Amino acid sequence: MSQDESLPPGSSLYEHGVTEVAASERTSVTVAACPVCGSDEATPRFEIEGVPQRMVVCTKCGLGRLHPMPDAETVRHYYPNEYYGEPGIKFQSLVERLVRIVGARHISFLSGGLRGRARVLDVGCGRGVILGALADRGFEVHGVEVSEGAARGADPRAEIRIAPTLADAGYPDAFFDQVIIWHVFEHLEDPRATLASIHRILKPGGRFIIAVPNFSSRQARLTGPAWFHLDLPRHLYQFPLAALNDLLRQTGFAPESVHHFSLRQNPFGWVQSALNLWTRLPRNALYTLLHHRAPGAQPPYEAATRRWLWFWLVVGTPIGLGLTLLETAFRNGATVHVVARRSSAASPL
Ligand SMILES: [Zn+2]
């Protein structure tokens, strides 16, 4: 079979090749102060196809970030419309159904400890799947999104504000019982300012739940530039767990628990990263195949490639699940979510 046929136009606009920076060029460069530790020294690590930025790693705390940091207008171009999928549908229906089943467990976790008509905000709510499910449980749900297109088709019970940053959304002080930022934080240009805003709008003692890929995970280290969760150049930052916890404490949060198991993210991350690393299939081909396309559109790959991808999905998923259970046992999840409380009265910024 041929595994390297090119995609039809437009079917994988958001896949950029990633390669390791040559060892001879991995010498420390001066960059803007690190938002976690303040160091201005970093080491170039990855080249990203099609953009002038590189991903550099802070020599002190290990935070990965794009350098130079692109401006907001440039970042907007990293997200073609199809990134968000059709209103209400991001994946093919079978996968969509699985996403919803796994989602039910996820919602139980997110709503644990909330009482009565607790007020909840989802930052980067997209099509509002989380908010719809939380509304079913009787909570008052709010969402903020940068993209009107992404929020289209969201649950009408969710009060959604469209704003370029959380600060621009204009929520009052101490307004929310809980703020969720689920696989969105790494996409935002100013992590400290985002945390300061969340601190301000959370009630004292309110709960904050943040999920990010874990740049210090074995999945990230073993698969390097092939790691599925790198998602360059859209992920402006790559957080090692220790750096994330550090940043939370510095911005007035007390981390309470760290969760290393994600059925939705972590086994798939193993399978897709392994395919990126060891096959000549296009980068993130499995993800592209599972991603919803407009009805009647051509499938993204020829039949033989699609059969291979389904084969690897079926064979790889149990292996990926096994590795995920191992990384959970070692508290080294490929993606992690941290539950924290707003710990001090004033934002330290
Ligand atoms: Zn740093």
C-alpha 47 – ligand 1 centre gap (Å): 20
Residue 202 in any domain: the answer is yes
Task: Using the predicted structure, report yes or no on whether residue 2 has a pLDDT greater than 50.
Answer: no
pLDDT at 163: 95
pLDDT tens for residues 125-138?
988 888 999 999 99
Cβ-Cβ contacts under 8 Å for 326 (sequence gap 6 or more): none
Residue with the larger pLDDT of the pair 12 and 108? 108
DSSP state letters, 87-156: TTB-B-HHHHHHHHHHHHHHHHHHHTT--TT-EEEEET-TT-HHHHHHHHTT-EEEEEES-HHHHTT--T
Q: How confident is the model at residue 76 (pLDDT cuts 50, 70, 90)?
A: confident
The model's pTM:
0.90
Q: How confident is the model at residue 158 (pLDDT cuts 50, 70, 90)?
A: very high
C-alpha 57 – ligand 1 centre gap (Å): 8
C-alpha 206 – ligand 1 centre gap (Å): 27
Pair type for strands 202-213 and 176-182: parallel
List strand residue ranges (DSSP E) for the chain, in order. 18-20, 29-30, 41-48, 54-58, 64-67, 119-123, 140-145, 159-162, 176-182, 202-213, 237-238, 253-259, 335-342
Task: Using the predicted structure, report yes or no on whether residue 228 has a pLDDT greater than 70.
Answer: yes
Residue 165 in any domain: the answer is yes
C-beta separation of 264 from 106 below 8 A: yes
pLDDT at 292: 59
User: 104-118, 241-255, 326-340 — which is least confidently predicted?
Assistant: 104-118
The CA dihedral of 245, 69, 198, 260, to the nearest 10 degrees, is -40
Which tokens hold the place of 67? 């350098």
C-beta separation of 301 from 7 below 8 A: yes
Residue 302 in any domain: the answer is no
Q: Mean pLDDT, to the nearest integer, of 187-201?
A: 97
C-alpha 36 – ligand 1 centre gap (Å): 5
Q: Mean pLDDT, to the nearest integer, of 272-277?
A: 96
286/296 Cα distance (integer angstroms): 19
pLDDT at 87: 47
6/282 Cα distance (integer angstroms): 8
Q: What is the CATH number of the domain that holds 198?
A: 3.40.50.150
C-beta separation of 346 from 206 below 8 A: no
- C-alpha distances in Å from residue 290, one per residue of 7, 23, 281, 306: 15, 35, 15, 10
Residue 59 in any domain: the answer is no
How many C-beta neighbours within 10 Å does residue 143 have? 25
pLDDT at 86: 53
How many C-beta neighbours within 10 Å does residue 262 have? 22
How many domains are contained in the chain? Answer: 1
Domain ranges, residue 171: 81-261+337-342
Q: What are the residues whose beta carbon lies below 5 Å from ligand 1 (ion)?
A: 34, 36-37, 39, 58, 60-61, 63
C-alpha 303 – ligand 1 centre gap (Å): 46
Residue 284 in any domain: the answer is no
User: 59-73, 237-251, 277-291 — which is least confidently predicted?
Assistant: 277-291
Q: How confident is the model at residue 45 (pLDDT cuts 50, 70, 90)?
A: very high
C-alpha 182 – ligand 1 centre gap (Å): 22
C-alpha 202 – ligand 1 centre gap (Å): 26
Name beta bridge partners: 91: 291
315/138 Cα distance (integer angstroms): 40
Q: How many CA atoms lie within 13 A of 2 on its CB side?
A: 6
C-alpha 39 – ligand 1 centre gap (Å): 5
C-alpha 61 – ligand 1 centre gap (Å): 4
Q: How confident is the model at residue 300 (pLDDT cuts 50, 70, 90)?
A: confident
Q: Mean pLDDT, to the nearest integer, of 207-227?
A: 98
Task: Using the predicted structure, report yes or no on whether residue 11 has a pLDDT greater than 70.
Answer: no
Residue with the larger pLDDT of the pair 273 and 155? 273
Q: What type of residue sits at position 322?
A: G
C-alpha 33 – ligand 1 centre gap (Å): 8
Q: How confident is the model at residue 12 (pLDDT cuts 50, 70, 90)?
A: low
Name beta bridge partners: 121: 142, 179
Residue 150 in any domain: the answer is yes
C-beta separation of 34 from 42 below 8 A: yes
Q: Mean pLDDT, to the nearest integer, of 316-345?
A: 94
Residue 199 in any domain: the answer is yes
C-alpha 235 – ligand 1 centre gap (Å): 16
Which residue's structure tokens are 């934080």? 185
3-class state of residue 54 by DSSP? strand
pLDDT at 8: 42
287/309 Cα distance (integer angstroms): 10
C-alpha 29 – ligand 1 centre gap (Å): 13
Residue 248 in any domain: the answer is yes
